[in-house]
Structure formats: structure tokens, C-alpha cells
Amino acid sequence: MTRPTVLVYHGDPRYAELVRVPKGRAVLRAAATPSEAAEAVGEAEILYAWKFPPQLYAKAERLKWLQAMGAGVDWAIVPELPPGVILTRAPGVFGLWMAEYVIGWCSWVTQRVETYREAQRQRRWLDHVLPDRLLGKTLAIVGLGDIGRDVARAARAFGMRVLGVSRRGRLVREAERVYPVGQMARALRQADFVVILLPLTQETHGIIGADAFAAMKPTAWLVNIARGAVVNEAALLGALEQRRIAGAILDVFATEPLPPHHPLWRMDNVVITPHISGPSTPEEITPVFNDNLARYLAGRPLRHVVDRKQGY
Ligand code: GLV
């Protein structure tokens, strides 16, 4: 029996170094650039990759399985990916990172960090200004997958009231109430913070638009840690400019890196971070692949298989 070839595609060589092939039952190859991948992809039965160049799938005649090095697979669900290829993702890795991001930045708002730091620079003792608190605030989480539920648990530990929005509105124990996506406005109306954690699919593209911002309180903050294109950017810019909402903490953008002349950069009610809220590290992601690789080679079903029609 010929041994399947595993192609690891990433600029960081540690992804390939950490792959464990059980008893030499597969051939391991690594590609750091699109041209190196073009050389190797014809042999590959298994691809372990992030943002694989779609034009190379045409050469991937033997490809049977693509393991994404991350949670979101919008980049992988492209018409070029042959229909028979199984696509798996890497859940369970990012939730605690992103929960800290959310609590950290919500606290940045409630602890009025900017105000006290500015007063410090001016050597002013600002004791007539008090911080606000997370306790009792309402957090609406739009998208209640494994990451959303980790964020919910962290928020509850600080005494926040957690509402959820999901496709079907199925209740999860981490949230006080879950609304189906068609009733999102009911959750948004109550929220002090709205965290976006939806996968980017045809259905969710631009789903956070003018209606969503109209439903939010003028004191509420948007936190987008999903994908930029889930939010309608023109509607967001309008809502921020008109102070329809208090502000936005944005980790993801329709175009990344955010272009230097983009109006979001200069808005004082916007925080911009460079898609780092849930960092991918080879040490955390590769064990998910290794587990699936052992399953694949043993002929057992893979975990975390994506429903390509559904988009996640
Ligand atoms: C990162 O954005 C991921 O989807 O893993």
C-alpha cells in the first residue's frame, strides 16, 4: 500500500515539525510559499494549511482531506476546492484567548482606562470620576459556538448577564436566553456589549447592518472578533460617526491589513487590533491535526468536519 503524502502549508516551519506521523505511515512534506506548494500539491492526499492558494486546487488530484489551521474556514470554502475533499477545522483552541480579549476590552471601557491614563499624563488626581463595572452589564453574544460559549462563561464569572443569538436560538446553559438570528434585535436592544462570533458564510455576510445598529443602545459597544465582512462596514462607519453606538472594538476587517487611509483608523471611539484576539500557534493547533491524522490513518471518522453547505 502506498503511503499518503501530508502537505503542510505555512510560513512557520514549526507547524510541520510538530506533526506526528504514526509509525511512518505517511510521507510528510512542507511548503512555505505558494510556489513550493505548487510543486508538492499534486502528491498530497492530506493538506494541513492556512489560506491555501485556491488556484492550486486544480493540481490537487489526490487530495482527500484538508485540515484548516484555525477556526474559520471561509477562506477554504471556495468553488476551486474539489467537492469530494473533506474539510475539518480546529475548534477548542481559541475560546479562552478570545474570552480574555473580550473581558480585557470590555474592562478597558468600564474601567475608563483612557480617562485615567490621560489624567496621569496631566498629573491630575481625577477622583471625581469613578469607574463603571462589568457586574450587571448585559453582554449579547452573536454566534454561540465553542468560542462564544467560552466567552459567555468568562462574562458570567464577572457577573455579566449573557444573552445569545444563534441560527436556531437553541438554549445553551452558558446564556440566560438565546434568540434565533431572525430575532437578533431583541438581544441587541438589551445589550451593553455586543460580541460578534458568527462564522462568515453567505447567510452572515453583512448581517450586522443598519438595523442592528439602530437596535443597539447609544451607550453600547460592538466587539467584532469574527470576520470583518459579517459587519456591513458602511453601516458601522455611519453608526460610529453619528454616535448611534458608543464605539467599537474591532479585531477583524473586510480588508486585512486595514489599509492606512481607512477612516476607522482615526475614529476615537474605535479600538483597532490586528486580528490577534485568538492567535493561532503551532503548539495549540497541531495536536488537533495529529489527533485527526491518527484517525484518518486508522480509517476512523474525522473530528470537526465542516458542513460545506452550511459554511462552518
Ligand atoms: C482565525 O481567524 C481563525 O479563524 O482561526
pTM comes to 0.96
The label of the residue with cell 511512518 reads 24
Pairwise CA distance, residues 307 & 261, whole Å: 37
- The DSSP line for 67-127 is EESSS--TTT--TTS-TT-EEE---SSSHHHHHHHHHHHHHHHHTTHHHHHHHHHTT---T
Testing ligand 1's pocket by substitution, the residue of 10, 73, 87, 94 carrying the most ligand atoms inside 8 A of its CB is 94
Question: Which CATH number does 5-92+280-297 carry?
Answer: 3.40.50.720
- The DSSP line for 218-233 is TT-EEEE-S-GGGB-H
2 confidence band (pLDDT: 50, 70, 90): confident
Mean pLDDT of all residues belonging to the chain: 97
Give, as one character, the DSSP assignment of residue 159: T
| For the chain, percent of residues with pLDDT exceeding 90 | 98
pLDDT tens track for 52-102? 999 999 999 999 999 999 999 999 999 999 999 999 999 999 999 999 999
71 lines ligand 1 (CB under 6 A): yes
User: Ligand 1: distance of its center to the CA of 252 in Å?
Assistant: 10
Domains 5-92+280-297 and 95-272 share a fold: yes
Residue 1's pLDDT is what? Answer: 63
Order the strands of the 177-180 sheet from edge to edge: 177-180, 161-166, 138-142, 193-196, 221-224, 247-250, 270-272
- Which residues are known catalytic residues? 227, 256, 275
pLDDT tens track for 7-33? 999 999 999 999 999 888 999 999 999
Residue 297's pLDDT is what? Answer: 97
Closest CA to ligand 1's atom 2:
72
pLDDT tens track for 137-186? 999 999 999 999 999 999 999 999 999 999 999 999 999 999 999 999 99
User: Ligand 1: distance of its center to the CA of 70 in Å?
Assistant: 5
Average of per-residue pLDDT across 258-287: 97
User: Ligand 1: distance of its center to the CA of 17 in Å?
Assistant: 21
Residues in the chain: 312
Q: Three-state DSSP class for 31?
A: strand
Domain ranges of the chain: 5-92+280-297, 95-272
Q: Tell which CATH classification among 3.60.10.10, 3.50.50.60, 3.40.50.720, 3.40.630.30 matches the domain 95-272.
A: 3.40.50.720
